[in-house]
Chains A and B, each alone.
Chain A
Amino acid sequence: MSDENAGLIAADLGVSRGGRLLIDGLSFELEAGDAALVTGPNGSGKTSLLRVLAGLAPPAAGSVKWAATEVRQLAPEARAGIAYRGHLNGLKKDLTVRENLEFHRALNGSEAPIDELLVTLGLRDVAGQRLRFLSAGQRRRAGLAMLKLGEARLWLLDEPLTNLDIAGRRLVAQWIDEHLDAGGMAAIASHQPDQLAGGGTLSIEL
């Protein structure tokens, strides 16, 4: 934690899945305002890479550092700087949309206003519905809402556009642009890189 402003540094990174090496010798750096766009065919290791960057899985080789600390060894408070949104939304089907968001807000110690967020996402009318009665796109929107329920500077997004309609895609692209403009960072795996308006300052092709 010597350098609060340091970004994400991946050095000579190797990523393996099920004993098979998918990525070897990948090095890159993200600083304030940078976005890395991760592209590649199915099975090329995009998800595995993001999970390693998030610290969920250990790298097969090399290191990932966030704020000058190995990402797997971050103190709990420092983890708040990273938000990971994977294929799974991380929401409970038997809680309402609002309850889900309130839970994650409490978990992240955030004070973000939920009502505004629900309006922005077009989920206000279903806020009191249990998640199991929502469509896949609505669930995705609720999942992405969590990006705003915390003060993460680094967003790790795995296929954020899946299941979203055109308005939803625009909203996500807009959120990412705003986030980067505000000095945030992002690593995004996507099959539709052209729809993420600004695109990446950095392109990682697997």
Chain B
Amino acid sequence: MVDIFLTIMGRDLKLAYRRWSEFANPLLFFVIVASLFPLALSPGQALLQSIGTGVLWVAALLSSLLALEGLFRGDFEDGSMEQILLSPAPFGTVVIAKIAAHWIVSGIPLIVLVPVVALSFQLPGEALATLAAALLLATPTLSVLSAIGAALTVSLKSGGSIIGLLILPLCSPMLIFGTRATDMAANGEPVAAPLYLLAALAVFAISLGPLAVAAALRVGLE
């Protein structure tokens, strides 16, 4: 099972490396959108600090939508998915491996990038560490939710906009706790509670999400 996990993840990472622009574009999009706010609004420190957290989280969320359509679509269109489904490899493991690979190429860069962009919103230093920690806990949930959206729309010609409608509402708890944790850190308050809630969401998503994804993919292939 570990072999299959590593095989699938290795393959997806290799493919991502060879088509790196697919994953670089959303990150660039995030940087640009987040940088437009300080330009468009008055550059006063108080305003930027108060809106900064929300802008960063929403921009990160929207940019991650750009990368997720290809999560299963490529495998679906070239017939790899039916071969994988028919192979003796346990399908649940395959799904988890694909989500993990997606998180590595789209989640981890966000964890690094968001605190850097946060500097342009003049967020206090203490908040940056919390922001990174909150992202570390939130991005796995985001990857699982993205996978559910991508799997449900895989048999449609173009799922792009529907995926957004499907998963953005589901992302709201994550958004609430993520921004809350960052704000509380900026105000010097203890941040354990929202971080624990983000961790709970991640555990919930990771344990149940892949089942939904696997079921949706099976239906999509019929």
Contacts and interface: CB of A to CB of B under 8 A. Distances in A.
B86 A94 contact: no
Nearest to B6: A106
A91 interface: yes
B14 A88 contact: no
A79 B83 contact: no
Given A55-B86, A56-B221, A107-B87, A90 B78 contact: yes
Given A88-B79, A89-B79, A95-B14, A56 B19 contact: no
Contact of B11 (A55, A77, A95): A95
B14 A99 contact: yes
Contacts of A55: 86
Contacts of B221: 56-57
Interface string B56-98: 0000000000000000001001111011111111110000000
Interface residues of A, number: 32
Interface in A92-110: 92-95, 99, 103-104, 106-109
A206 interface: no
A52 to B, nearest CB: 10
A80 B4 CA distance: 14
Contacts of A88: 77-79, 82
Contacts of A186: none
Interface in A129-157: 130, 146
A199 interface: no
Nearest to B88: A80
A66 to B, nearest CB: 12
Contact of B79 (A76, A86, A99): A86
Nearest to B221: A56
B15 A79 contact: no
B146 to A, nearest CB: 21
B3 interface: yes
A91 B79 CA distance: 7
A160 B23 CA distance: 36
A58 interface: yes
Given A56-B82, A88-B82, A146-B83, 12 more contacts: A54-B82, A57-B221, A76-B88, A84-B86, A86-B79, A89-B79, A94-B19, A99-B11, A99-B14, A103-B7, A106-B7, A107-B89
